[in-house]
Chains A and B, each alone.
Chain A
Amino acid sequence: MEKISVKVCLGTTCFVMGSANLQELIKIIPKKYGDRVEVSGVPCLGLCSTDWEFSKAPYVKVNNDIIKEATVEKVLSAVDSKLAAKK
């Protein structure tokens, strides 16, 4: 089964707008989902540089879906629904 990938953007904009407080996800996800999900903090995904899109940071990518104004809750529920869809 292909792993679900979670990328937490740690570029400066995302970091300041909130992903500093998403770093715990990088520890929680492996504990919660084991090897079904792969999570990492990544350099700028480039999503903030389009016009005024900094205001929707922090961004997290779950597979190819972009989560705007990400919170721990939003990311975990996106992972849950991806896992459910696979079954």
Chain B
Amino acid sequence: MSIDTPKVTSHLKREIIVRLIKAYMGDDYAEEVRKIPYEMRPKGSEVPYRCCIHKERAILRDRTIAGLGLSIEKADDSELLSELAQKAQKRNQPEENPLTVLQTACQGCVPSRIYVTDLCQGCVARPCESACKFGAIKVENGKSHIDSDKCRNCGMCVQVCPYQAIARIIVPCEKICPVNAIAKGEDGLAHIDFDKCISCGKCVNACPFGAVHEKSQIIDILKEIKNGKKVVALVAPSLFGQLPCTPKQLKHAIMSLGFYDVLEVAQGADITIKNEAAEFKEKMFEGQNFMTTSCCAGYNELVEKHLPELKQFRSETKTPAYYTAEIAKKEYPEVKTVFFSPCVAKRTEAHNNPNIDYVLNYEELGAWFIAMNIQVSDCSESEFNAEASAQARNFPVSGGVAEAVNSLLEGDEKAKVHTVNGLEKQSIRDLKKFAREGKCELGNLIEVMACPGGCLGGNGTINSYNEALSQLNDYVEQSGSIRKPAKV
């Protein structure tokens, strides 16, 4: 494994969010937003990544558009950032599709294909020619050539070349997407097909140019607070472990941003655990072969869009976010709710849930602390109004959900757990097979997490995985075990 080190693409995105928040809190919001690319690359500054300072600024302008929660593809080049800033401020709800692509950055990336490099020796054996089932490769003038009309990108020639002279050129976003929702079009630019996209966020992290952006809702949230609305934070369990402070300090820090209350989504996870354990028992009693979990938003979108045949096997229990949002709106009917999220997928879930008004990811939360100059480790501690169990707080770790369900089952009724630790093409094929055959030999409770490692591996997180895990473990260890309901 490579050594963990800060990523420049994340640095740029976070810096822009900090500047947007400072602009919003300042006296001349629109004008301050307009100046962001110029502040980041003032006259005479070095040009670290692009051909010239003008392109640097143009790209930063586009990144700022995503920070404003607008689609980069739809924004007209002639629109000033100040106009777009006002547009963002005037909207009544966030835009629908959660991702947007900075297509100008895609030009640095060539289309995926098989490519014969200069290392080709034009050898006598020519295994590439005989290995190709499509007749797409021929030696001409002492070197292999690929007929792109015939080539199907199977990669056989890559494997057989004794000189390793043939390379597969990869487009990272295309390669990582488990459902083929993002691809370079004929124009050479990456496009996301939102009919296919499951909002897993893998492309956000995979693009080395940082071209895929989440559309931030930070302006919407700041506006609600500025207008005096009561805004309640619903913090996903994976948040605890993201910043260098205790959970109670973090509550205090969030309150000091202007939130009215902070609820742990683990509170809702306790309801999920109870319902799901009861449901599992019932389904197994009825003779169903297996059941899958239903709390990962990326997985849920996968089932809706690509694997409808799996629906009958997926638990009907709602997500922890759903129950927590319901509690918040019941307790405080007049408030706006913000779900604090580790990933893109919850943006789509929130969009479809009237009880969740906005989503803020951890990067954005961190940027907010920077903008307001809040030192989380210096904050005093605020108690949460409701407790949550150790099992619920351990939801964001791969295996945690199934383990929690099992903690309420006894003896023969205990589930045999199979965990799908990250959705990729292969694990999706496996799930499809389970649905088709109506059975899974690997277990009868299948826990599915779209991100490897669980929510702690989400694209919107700050802390490195192992550090986050050890911090979260401390919190889980301090928490009491879930109590069995009188009748499961």
Contacts and interface: CB of A to CB of B under 8 A. Distances in A.
Interface string B241-280: 0011000000000000000000000000000000000000
Interface in A5-52: 10-13, 15-24, 28, 43-44, 48-49, 52
Given A12-B370, A16-B367, A49-B373, A24 B4 contact: yes
Contacts of B153: none
Interface in B186-208: none
Contacts of A16: 14, 243, 363, 366-367, 369-370, 462
Contacts of B467: 20, 23
Contacts of B4: 21-24, 72
B15 interface: yes
Interface residues of A, number: 28
A64 B11 CA distance: 25
A17 B334 CA distance: 35
Given A16-B363, A20-B464, A52-B39, A71 B5 contact: yes
B243 A22 contact: no
- The residue in A16, A19, A69, A70 that gathers the most chain B C-beta atoms within 10 A of its C-beta is A16
Given A12-B369, A16-B367, A55 B15 contact: yes
Interface in B458-481: 462-464, 467
A47 to B, nearest CB: 13
B453 to A, nearest CB: 15
A50 to B, nearest CB: 12
A83 B292 CA distance: 55
B157 interface: no
B5 A72 contact: yes
A71 B11 CA distance: 12
10 contacts: A12-B375, A15-B462, A16-B243, A16-B369, A17-B6, A17-B370, A18-B11, A23-B467, A44-B375, A71-B5
Interface in B1-34: 3-7, 10-11, 14-15, 18
B219 to A, nearest CB: 19
Contacts of A21: 4-7, 464
A57 to B, nearest CB: 8
A18 B10 contact: yes
Given A12-B370, A52-B39, 11 more contacts: A12-B369, A12-B374, A16-B14, A17-B6, A18-B10, A22-B6, A23-B4, A70-B6, A71-B5, A72-B4, A73-B5
B244 A22 contact: no
Given A20-B463, A52-B39, A12 B376 contact: yes
B217 to A, nearest CB: 18
A52 B39 CA distance: 9
A55 B40 contact: yes
A22 B365 CA distance: 20
Contacts of A49: 373
Interface in B353-401: 363, 366-367, 369-370, 373-377
A11 B375 contact: yes
Contacts of A54: 15, 18, 370
A69 B12 CA distance: 11
Contacts of A28: 3
Contacts of B376: 12
Given A12-B376, A44-B375, A20 B370 contact: no
Nearest to A75: B5
A12 B244 contact: yes
Given A21-B7, A72-B3, A13 B370 contact: yes
Contacts of A19: 6
Which of A20, A69, A71 gathers the greatest number of chain B CB atoms within 10 Å? A20
Given A20-B463, A23-B467, A10 B244 contact: yes
Contacts of B39: 52
A71 B308 CA distance: 45
A70 to B, nearest CB: 7
Interface in B291-337: none
B7 to A, nearest CB: 7
A12 B362 CA distance: 13
Nearest to A28: B3
Given A17-B370, A20-B463, A23-B467, A12 B5 contact: no
B391 to A, nearest CB: 26
Interface string B34-57: 000001100000000000000000
Contacts of A72: 3-5
Nearest to A43: B377
Q: Among the interface residues A12, A55, A71, which one has the most CB atoms of the partner chain B within 10 A?
A: A12
Interface string B129-154: 00000000000000000000000000
A55 B16 CA distance: 9
Contacts of B40: 55
A54 B370 CA distance: 8
Contacts of B243: 12, 15-16
